[in-house]
Structure 1
Amino acid sequence: MRAYLAARENDGEAPGVRLGEVEMPVPRANEVLVKVEAYSVNRGETFQLERPPAGGWRPGKDVAGLVVQAAPDGSGPAVGRRVVGHPPAGGWAEFVAVPTDALAPIPDRLTAVEAAALPFAGLTALRLLRTAGRHTGHLAGRRILLTGASGGVGHYVAELTAAAGAGVTAVSASAQRGGRLSELGAADVVHRVADAVGPFDVVLESTGGEALPLALDRLAPRGLLIWFGQASRRPVTLDFFDLLRGPTGATLRQFSYADVDGPDGPDLATLVGLTAEGRLHPEIGTVRDWSHTGEVLADLRERRVRGNAVLTVG
């Protein structure tokens, strides 16, 4: 079968990947074989491709498609069922083996393109807000600052926080992208962190560099800053004495969406259900044939895509 591989330095075929022939996956006992109809590419994966893991790793964690081989242990969906999945790797391919506990069925009202945009960005947003809710007790009435809001995660966060009764201030450098965040429920949109008027109960920070200290300075006493990315690719410098003059008793927490005790399937089902009910709207900035994966990776690196980027496998 055909699949995308991490490119060697001199391949020159596409930025970060090349299309090649690989062996068909052989599912383990608890895995189904999925014929991929669409997959989503995330900006974080462009960073991962710069230093790909060893051992035959192939990129791709967000897929939607059709089950063509059921799990040998009898778990999971039957052959012919449309599913969205979050495999550990290898999803940018014609077929992928996916653990049955990392799948959710797709209802007829959702397309494969919509479903493929849900896993990584949606799981991140859902679990960010769950983490924030544990700290604050509830989100209703809380003020939340979200940096780097124009990516796939940001659009889901804006809509989910509004639904929870929180007021989110979204930071987006683009006026056009900011307008869409307002439509999804953002209470306020600013173009720079410095323009955000605090204090905020929670800061969701994904930019790093100079943005994190500025965002931290707008935190309320005993507030929470969740650091879930460094899209600027610039390190953060913090001064302890600035913290003493800033929010008293602030909590800084590093966040990974994979830091969960259970499988991804139940949270994927939640995201699918919300989308099918019209309560969550994947923001899909581009849909292209999978032959354009390299171009999409370049567009993501240069921030030319609003929301999610989805590739369809013909």
Structure 2
Amino acid sequence: MHRMQRLIPTGNQARPVAFAEDAQPVPEPDEALIRVEAFSPNRGETFLLEQPGAGLCPGKDVAGLVVQAAADGSGPQTGTRVVGHPAQGGWAEYAAVPTHSLAVLPDDIGAVRAAALPLAGITALRLLRAAGSVVGRRVLVTGASGGVGHYVTELAAAAGAEVSVVTATPSRGERLRALGAAAVVHKVAEAQGPFDVVLESTGGAHLPVAVSKLAPGGTLIWFGQASRTPVTLDFFDLLGGPEGATIRHFHYAGAPYGPDLTTLVRLVEGGRLHPEIGLVAGWEQTAPTLVDLRERRIRGKAVLTTGTVR
């Protein structure tokens, strides 16, 4: 049995993961075995690591090389460079990934940029589909400094929306303006509404304020709880707010992910989507990187590399 290194949870918030030796995964018939060159953790994964359940093997965003094609003949062949979105297990030297959750990489997109794409990019694409056509519509994005915020800002602006963003610092706002944001504010209350669509990811006290910024008949799509604070909505305030407003919950999950990954790769290759990577480091730096990500000290995405990458 082949052995490999993987990162496993420690339950220690100061150092959330540590290296351990493990068996190399044995792929299911519809899975390819990937030699992982780079992976990107997500802030939600840092929360899972605070009280890790038994058998948790984190890692959903990976890029690397197919070293064993799927036995059922589906997906890319051995030797193909890919980006993938497995259910778990990506913080390791090797990962088994369903072929419907893989996309082939062109030569000019390296593993670092590719690894930053899956969860945040798929979420951004599916959020905009949920919002419907945004051409000529006013869109507010809260929590825009994260990976999803950067992608959705650029995609919505390119699709013809007038995008306002909420972000913590001026420097982050400058980058979002470069990606197409028409207005930048640092608090939801400062946003100059009304907005046809609000994409809300912070929760807590911010969500009721965001609702108040909606135009009559507008829609707020709630897709995150970055503040980690429960939301309280006053029903009387809601009745006195925008007439006919809709509040809907959104979760990105639902395979297959391969077609959306292929779309993201095509947009990056065409210069129409620019992964915002705030940190690149060797995977021996994963533990401190996870702490920085949890504490919101990284702009956009963090990417860890397992060795030589293209």
Give the TM-score, by structure 2 length: 0.96
Aligned-partner Cα distance in 2 for 1:110–1:99: 21
Aligned-partner Cα distance in 1 for 2:37–2:135: 38
Count of residue pairs the alignment pairs up: 304
Q: Does 1:85 align with 2:80?
A: no
What residue number does 2:101 align with?
Answer: 102
Residue deviations 1:239-258, cap 9 Å, x none?
11101110111111111000
Corresponding letter in the other structure for 1:103: L
Aligned-partner Cα distance in 2 for 1:176–1:165: 24
What residue number does 2:23 align with?
Answer: 23
Aligned-partner Cα distance in 1 for 2:34–2:170: 39
What residue number does 1:301 align with?
Answer: 294
Aligned-partner Cα distance in 1 for 2:15–2:45: 12
What residue number does 1:173 align with?
Answer: 168
Report 1:10-159 matches (<5 A): 15-54=15-54, 56-133=55-132, 138-159=133-154
Judge conservation of contact 2:7–2:17 (CA < 8 Å) in 1: yes
Corresponding letter in the other structure for 1:128: L
Tell me how far 1:41 sits from its aligned partner. 1.0
Tell me how far 1:222 sits from its aligned partner. 1.3
Q: Secondary structure of the equivalent of 2:40?
A: strand
Aligned-partner Cα distance in 1 for 2:44–2:293: 9
Judge conservation of contact 2:164–2:191 (CA < 8 Å) in 1: yes
Q: Percent identity?
A: 66
Tell me how far 1:16 sits from its aligned partner. 1.5
Aligned-partner Cα distance in 1 for 2:285–2:41: 11
What residue number does 2:238 align with?
Answer: 243
Corresponding letter in the other structure for 1:151: G
Q: After TM superposition, what 4+ stretches of structure 1 lie above 6 angstroms from structure 2? A: none
Q: Does 1:184 align with 2:184?
A: no
Q: 2:262 aligns with which of 269, 274, 281?
A: 269
Q: Secondary structure of the equivalent of 1:201?
A: strand
Residue deviations 1:226-277, cap 9 Å, x none?
111111111110011101110111111111000x4x5000000000000011
Residue deviations 1:156-207, cap 9 Å, x none?
0110001100011000011000000000000100010010011000110000
Tell me how far 1:8 sits from its aligned partner. 3.4
Q: Does 1:2 align with 2:2?
A: no
Tell me how far 1:53 sits from its aligned partner. 3.5
Judge conservation of contact 2:211–2:220 (CA < 8 Å) in 1: yes
Give the TM-score, by structure 1 length: 0.95
Tell me how far 1:52 sits from its aligned partner. 2.6
Q: Secondary structure of the equivalent of 1:22?
A: strand
Tell me how far 1:44 sits from its aligned partner. 1.2
What residue number does 1:289 align with?
Answer: 282
Tell me how far 1:36 sits from its aligned partner. 0.3
Tell me how far 1:57 sits from its aligned partner. 2.3
